[in-house]
Structure 1
């Protein structure tokens, strides 16, 4: 891949040229996840996904007819459909983008996006209000492709909002961050109990070296080389980041929930954990993959995964157990293999059936760092490139 430019998400820094080829052909994650087979069973219809971010541009062709009326919590007065950064727009396209010319497609094109603008001012307060609002609006899935370091005071603001959303029946997904190669600091809200933290893997079936690791990682998804829309000029770009992985995990939940509308948030999460692709050796949870790589195909096409109790959060329940080996399984006890020095070891690189089955838990291809800090909030965006 030829890197045309690096972005720190500041307006005007990125000016990628238009792509001359069909973007669908570049969406490797859709092929790997067997999306077109999945769409014969579910497209996410009937499921609302809240995108708590920088706003969502309603003029994007792939999002026409996909957006619900949302809310702007920033106090800037520009409205939720004004997106200075392009980040929220990118996430919405990855989740629910519909076919429009040669543009990128979303993984759950039948779902609807509830845009919630929160990036500005006191981000923890805005985030908490946004989470509560999304839950009150009936968003089954809440996508938070952002995170930051917070003090105890901000944690005290965010945690009740997360618990409120969980009780209202929502699943909250958040990116774990892109600084594994620059300190690996835990980010919030991904590190809060009740939030499903998402890490990133690349096309080579490796954990991306920028993807933060630790107990906050619950699941992982493709997050390297993801085509989408970017910038206020609505140009097309290729992105890396746990932001993108989080959007794909959210879309996966929408696909499953659409096919099983009677399931609760706990049941959807449980089958996602059970059917996730795991390394061939070791135990779960892995500090790199959590319970594995999201595989909605296993639920929708192969009919795997037991929904289990409706009122028990499987992630919180698993964290309360003493041994990682007691975590939810899908016929394997694989996780992160470690050597005698405690360092991650490379398991088998074999992948069964040409899709997410076994995964190596090792560092992936390096990517240049690119983040923007707004009042303590770090938007989990990394590299953008045009070709």
Structure 2
């Protein structure tokens, strides 16, 4: 593909540094065949005969949703716009929200063409927020995620999809708690900067939110998926086909925890449709207890959480979970990062696109040292200290004619400078042992990984 575009979850702007994932247009004639997730999950034969998400509204807090895309016609309800523009949320200038909506509730078109979502009978409530393709704060200039969450709850959403990154300040936390108190399942993306050692992003890391990482078609964790003890589940997030926003026939392929989050939101919608009497907490317990544990993994762990989200197993009869506690099992989850006092009041920002690109995003929460000072500040101080100490050593050696058995500089050639080897930094504190089941509930036997036929998803 010649035109690469940037999409994904988790972006932190530091000077001109932008993190994200690439994606581009997909040929229209191979869209359905390219949806490997639908095949891996055996949706047509094992999932949809049980549930298709009827009577469930999924709020997509994102860049808006293009309701005119051929695979989303009739699926998108009037919503709201918190970006500073006047719309009902059914407009998308970036494309990220449209992509997420299609993975959740796309209906396709024709016989078997276009994008089919994992919960094709669910409805999408678009809640548009500031998401600039250049990482700039959009019109209005303030973070309105808390308002967006509360709006989604008040409009009847039973699942909230947040394939984005924002803050974890008091207002965000209060809004998430409001959703939990109103029996809503809140799902967030873990972030796309895992190869930089960053922890699970906010707001996914807030207790009570289902934090989702990404895996490929073989069930292996995507290298850029953020990791940490807050990881709850993983789901497909590599080589994902989705709807685009540039026209009614636009499609994209890409990677990211945004996509995996959308798939978990779809599974939650399937469960809420099949078992409407279950509380949000019991739905989350179903997702956790039914997750497929890949071979060789001991869960929970920082990479997989409790395993790969499985629609088949989540929909299966599970009276032990259904008769269990109604409370959200993630509320007692400890945060690995120090809680921000007034974290990130800026609007959510997607990754910067290539020329003419679409973008979406998940803004990484600013990495903090144990003292609450940004890591890059300490890095600058450390570098300055190394330079000063190095200069002193050079002066001492010049005055003493070398020393320590080393030939003096300028005589016999300078030795290769050896820098001290520091252990890799833990971005979220000391390594933590695997967490016990969140909320202290009984852990049911893990689901075996794979079916013996090379499919790790069942």
Superposed pair shares fold, TM > 0.5: yes
> Is residue 332 from structure 1 mapped to residue 446 from structure 2 by the alignment?
yes
Alignment match, 2:290: 275
Change (3 A) 1:219 1:273: same
Match of 2:118 among 107, 113, 121: 107
CA distance in 1, matches of 2:237, 2:25: 22
After TM superposition, the structure 1 = structure 2 runs for residues 193-272 of structure 1, keeping only pairs within 5 Å, are 193-234=207-248, 235-272=250-287
1:68 and 1:113 in contact (8 A); partners too: yes
What is the CA–CA distance in structure 1 between the aligned matches of 2:103 and 2:457, rounded to whole Å? 22
Cα deviations by residue, 1:196-219 (Å, 9 ceiling, x for unpaired): 110000012210001000122111
1:9–1:85 Cα contact (<8 Å) kept: no
The counterpart of 2:194, out of the listed 174, 177, 180, is 180
Aligned counterparts of 2:317 and 2:39: Cα–Cα separation in 1: 17
**Contact 1:124/1:158 (<8 A) preserved:** no
Check the 8 A contact 1:275/1:299 in 2, yes or no.
yes
Mapped to 2, the partners of 1:330 and 1:33 lie a distance apart of 22
Q: 1:20 to 1:84 in 2, by over 3 A?
A: closer
Tell me, yes or no, if structure 1 residue 35 matches structure 2 residue 43. Answer: yes
Question: Is the 2:7–2:256 contact (alpha carbons within 8 Å) kept by the matching residues of 1?
Answer: no
The change in CA–CA distance for 1:188 and 1:25 in structure 2 (over 3 A counts) is: same
Residue 30 of structure 2 is aligned to residue 19 of structure 1: no
- Contact 2:208–2:329 (8 Å) recurs in 1: no
CA separation of 1:56 and 1:331: change in aligned 2, threshold 3 A: same
Query: Would you say 1:73 and 2:90 are equivalent positions?
Result: no
Aligned-partner Cα distance in 2 for 1:103–1:305: 39
In structure 1, C-alpha distance between the alignment counterparts of 2:65 and 2:457, rounded to whole Å: 34
Contact 2:56 2:273 in 1 (8 A): yes
Superposition misfits of 4+ residues, deviation over 4 angstroms? 14-18, 121-124, 301-305, 317-320, 325-328
2:206 corresponds to 1:192: yes
Per the alignment, do residues 43 and 163 of structure 1 end up closer, same or farther by CA in structure 2, a change over 3 Å counting?
same
- The 1:130–1:326 alpha-carbon spacing in structure 2 relative to 1, beyond 3 Å, is closer
The CA deviation string for residues 4-61 of structure 1, in whole angstroms up to 9 with x for no partner, is: 3322359xxx995561524111111111111112111110001100000000011011
User: What do residues 60-116 of structure 1 show as CA deviations (whole Å, max 9, x unaligned)?
Assistant: 111111111101111222441110101000000000000313211100001000000
**Where in structure 2 are there 5+ consecutive unaligned residues?**
9-21, 131-137, 336-432
Answering whether residue 147 of structure 2 is matched by residue 129 of structure 1, we say yes
- Structure 1 equivalent of residue 330 of structure 2: 315
In the superposition, relative to structure 1, how do residues 123 and 110 fare at CA in structure 2: closer, same or farther (>3 Å)?
Answer: farther
Return 5+ residue gaps in structure 1 as ranges.
Answer: 335-348, 359-387
CA deviation digits over 1:160-203, x for unaligned, max 9?
A: 00000000010100101000113424421111111111000001
Alpha-carbon distance change, 77 to 330 in structure 1, aligned in 2, over 3 angstroms = same
Paired position in structure 1 for 2:314: 299
Tell me if structure 2 keeps the 8 A contact 1:298–1:304: no
Say how many residue pairs are matched.
334
Q: Distance in 2 between matches of 1:237 and 1:160?
A: 35
1:131 and 1:352, CA in 2 relative to 1: closer, same or farther beyond 3 A? farther
Larger Rg: 2
Equivalent residue in structure 1 for 2:171, among 148, 152, 157: 157
Q: Distance in 2 between matches of 1:227 and 1:304?
A: 35
Cα 1:312–1:204 shift into 2, 3 Å? same
CA contact (8 A) 2:72 2:107 kept: yes
TM (norm. structure 1) is 0.79
Q: Alpha carbons of 1:15 and 1:164: their partners in 2 closer, same or farther (altered >3 Å)?
A: closer
RMSD (CA atoms)? 2.7
Closer/same/farther in 2, CA of residues 20 and 98 from structure 1, 3 Å limit: closer
**1:48 aligned to 2:37?**
no
Alpha-carbon separation, structure 2, partners of 1:191 and 1:212: 11
